[in-house]
Amino acid sequence: MNLKYRNILGVVVILALVGAVLAGAFFRDSRNTQPEFMEYAAFIEAVAYGRVKSVSLGDGAMLRFTLADSEASYTTNNPRRGDFKEFLLLAGISVSESTTTGEGLLQIGVTIALVAGLFFFIRRRTSAGMAKAGLTPVTVKPHGQKLCGFDDVAGNLEAKENVKDIVDYLKEPERFARYGARMPRGILFHGKPGTGKTLMARAMAGEAGVPFHAVSGSDFVQMYVGVGAARVRDLFKKAREAGRGVIFIDEIDALGKKRSDGVNGNDEREQTLNALLTEMQGFSEGTGIVVVAATNRPDILDEALLRPGRFDRRVEIGLPDMNARRAILDLHSQGKPLSREIDLDKLARDTVFFSGAMLEGLLNDAAIGAARRGGEDILPEDITTAYYTALAGSEKKDRSAIRDHERAITAWHESGHALAAVLSDPENRVAKVTIIPSTSGAGGFCATIPPERMYYTKQDLRRQIKISLAGRAAEELRFGEDNVTTGASNDIEKATTTAMQYVSKFGMGTGIADRALLKDNRKVAVESAALTDTLYRETLILLQKNYSALEALAERLLTKETLDGDEVAEIIDSCA
């Protein structure tokens, strides 16, 4: 029988037992007729005349007696005198000791308490059994069954190279032990979401042909103290029983955050973390077990996790470059009827800052769009729609409620972004400008594709800020300073964030020290505000000098609603 249903059946049986006890007490009391009350003076008179046959004494306020000429029971007040029993016996009356109503209720209460105790004991044992039965939600692949290999992981060449020796160790741990080599007990994969950290861990296990034990850090975060630590111990026990293998802990920051120095720490999380540290330290050499963890925030992990003997190798799984994006697109396009007109090389160039998961989602959305359309192949239009949906959301179909004045504001705003992008940074390619609102809440957008760079200079960051502020500047030039709108709120937030990083994180302000770390946040705020204001004035001057091109872009957007990069460049060149 299923454990859940056995637990329910046990509860039902115990409740039925409690009901039976209460019912028995009720029927016992209801079976006896209610005795008639007699005044105490009348009772003493009956004793004097020898009419009382028997008396039942107790500690209660009432006593019960029977008369010689009647089978009925009577009650009267209990005088509770020390010599009262002797008085009755001398009168020739049969006296018995009996429990009172209060004592009966006490017995019932004790019985209920015992049954309740039994109930909670059985429930606790059952819960413990359930916890033990499904203590750790691990997914284990049988030994030798191929999960996936490095050939199934496009891109991330550096990460593959960093873990190839681990794969060799998983295959032949004895060979490394013979040379006295200690392989890392733990590997920490870190990087942005969707870059393939979990896939890389599965590929390691697949390449080595060993079991893959996959859990999430949140699986160990429990309300009750001790449960998480027990799950950690059970996970490692299962891994040891299975022999060589990979233990994968996703989102390890859920349990591995830096421990608090104060008294208000999370006891359960700290106990779970301590259990993990102990289990990792307890691995013996040559076991062939490697712990792999993944996180998006390595900076918040406890230092004890990162020391040698724990997660002593850190591997970054970064965003793919253009060649890696091309390989990922090739991988995920398999089995999809792509039209010959689709240029995956161009798509790889246009998807700067896309993760592997985003690229897979883009092709999948294009396939869904083609299926809804009922076409034979996936066309370039399906790819384009999926691309811009990923950037800004789906186009809003009903635009009848948008006023002409609001369309004009959006057209000038987006024209400002496009013009500033082309003029301030020639390498920053404009892909599309539109004033069609999207379901994400944007009134329109200007999609620019920056060049791939390893580093950003001061000029690069200043140009980014100017492009972000160009929409507000265009509004001010066309409609006046008092008529700017809230449409630039997100742009201003991005510009301010970049300016603060420019001053503090990157040390490109008046001082090279990181003022955020020095807690000089007031100076950071003042200098960032001054930088933003200066660049805004420069943006106003840039757009003012090229006002004819700005106006031409806005008018063409009001007519066509959408312009591609070539059309934008043509309009700007014609106004030069």
Residue 329 burial (CB < 10 Å; 0-12/13-18/19+)?
Answer: buried
Helices (runs of H) and strands (runs of E) counted in the chain = 20, 13
**Listed residue (548, 427, 392, 418) closest to 470, CA to CA:** 418
C-alpha dihedral sign at 111, 117, 120, 122: negative
Query: Do 516 and 527 meet the contact criterion of CB atoms below 8 Å apart?
Result: no
Q: Which residues, 6+ apart, have CB-to-CB distance to 99 below 8 Å?
A: 58, 107
Q: Which residues, 6+ apart, have CB-to-CB distance to 288 below 8 Å?
A: 169, 170, 173, 210, 243, 244, 245
Angle at 477 between CA 468 and CA 466, to 5 degrees: 20
What DSSP line would sit under 212-250, residue for residue?
EEEEEGGGG--SSTTHHHHHHHHHHHHHHHH-SEEEEEE
**Listed residue (321, 366, 329) closest to 345, CA to CA:** 329
CB count in 10 Å sphere of residue 107 = 12
Rounded Cα–Cα distance for residues 259 and 576 (Å): 61
Q: At 158, is the secondary structure helix, strand, or coil?
A: helix
Per DSSP, which regions of 23-98 are E strands? 36-37, 52-57, 62-67, 73-77, 94-97
Query: Do 293 and 215 meet the contact criterion of CB atoms below 8 Å apart?
Result: no
Q: Which of 414, 475, 476, 527 is catalytic?
A: 414
On the CB side of 387, CA atoms within 13 Å amount to 21
Instruction: Judge whether 39 counts as a catalytic residue.
Output: no
Query: Do 325 and 354 meet the contact criterion of CB atoms below 8 Å apart?
Result: yes
C-alpha dihedral sign at 163, 169, 171, 176: positive
Query: Do 403 and 395 meet the contact criterion of CB atoms below 8 Å apart?
Result: no
Paired strand residues for 38? none
Helix (H), strand (E) at residue 512: none
Helix (H), strand (E) at residue 316: strand 313-316
CA distances, 253 to each of 190, 236, 307, 533, 537 (Å): 11, 19, 16, 39, 43
Q: At 432, is the secondary structure helix, strand, or coil?
A: strand
Instruction: Give a three-class secondary structure readout of 130-147.
Output: HHHHCCCCCECCCCCCCC
C-alpha dihedral sign at 38, 42, 47, 49: negative
Q: Which residues are catalytic?
A: 414
